[in-house]
Amino acid sequence: MMLVEERKKCYEARDAYFSCLDANGGRRQRRALRKLYEKHCPSSWVKHFDKKRAEDEKLRKLLEARSDAETKASAGSKAGSA
């Protein structure tokens, strides 16, 4: 069972790694942060967090595409009625 401090280190390492990915950090930095992430988090948690991030990213892209399509459709219908 993980203690509070261990969980905190895990979450901090995960957040630092994911922030680096979001900011398109350099390969060396990503690798170093990934190692810390894997060091401080149980492997089952790493798998879970990685899977959840991939699913969340997929959903975000889907919602952005839907929003863009709705915006274009709305602009097109306004232009057609003018």
Note down the domain range covering 56: 4-81
At 25 the pLDDT is 85
At 22 the pLDDT is 93
At 5 the pLDDT is 96
| pLDDT, tens only, 37-51 | 999 999 999 999 999
- Pairwise CA distance, residues 60 & 70, whole Å: 15
**Cα 34 from chain centre:** 14
- Pairwise CA distance, residues 32 & 37, whole Å: 9
| pLDDT, tens only, 48-71 | 999 999 999 999 999 999 988 888
Structural domains in the chain (count)? 1
Question: Above pLDDT 70, what percent of the chain?
Answer: 93
Give the three-class secondary structure for 27: helix
